[in-house]
Amino acid sequence: MKIENLYRQIIMEHYKNPLNKGLLSDADYLLIKMHNPSCGDDVTVQLKVEDNIIKDIRHDGVGCSICCSSASVMSEVLKGLSKEEAIKIAENFIDMVMNKEFNPNYLKGDMQAYSGVRTFPARVRCATLAWVAALKGLKEG
């Protein structure tokens, strides 16, 4: 199987069966909303950080398969990490998708499936939206 097809399958699997999807009505969670006007994606990320550890991440929204699946991967990868680790990994993912220099050692879970997005500049914002939301929450919260 070609690697592109494998990556597409991983993305479709997260799109159909997203992990950690659905927001909680819990005031302990930090809420970050992001919008991507070029594609119409809307993502809301909920973060719960305790003792510097990400205890939980939720996400919800409507958007294309790349955006929604990427939110699922983000929640799976970052949950349980320290704030510093999570920031490093999220920044590294964004660098990879934006075709900047990145460190493959910081690619976890299914993050690599989005490596091909760099050849489609119009979809970069789709892939990074949930990660940018999480970063914002981690840096401000």
The length of the chain, given as a count of residues: 141
Where does 17-82 have alpha helices with state H?
65-78
Among positions 31, 39, 53, 87, the unique one binding Zn ion when judged by CB under 5 A: 39
Q: Give the residue, chosen from 10, 67, 74, 89, that forms a contact with Zn ion under the rule CB under 5 A.
A: 67
SS3 103: coil
Dihedrals phi, psi of 107, to nearest 5 degrees: -90, 120
Task: Give the span between the Cα atoms of 121 and 53, in whole angstroms.
Answer: 33
* CB neighbour class for 35 (10 Å; exposed up to 12, middle 13-18, buried from 19): middle
- Which among 7-15, 39-47, 48-56, 112-120 is the span making contact with Zn ion, rule CB under 5 A? 39-47
Asked if 64 interacts with Zn ion (CB under 5 A), we say yes
Residue 77 binds to Zn ion (criterion: CB under 5 A): no
Total residues at the site for Zn ion (CB under 5 A)?
Answer: 5
Q: How far is the CB of 1 from Zn ion (least distance, A)?
A: 25
Smallest distance from Zn ion to CB 59, Å: 14
The contact set with Zn ion (CB under 5 A) reads 39, 41, 64, 67, 126
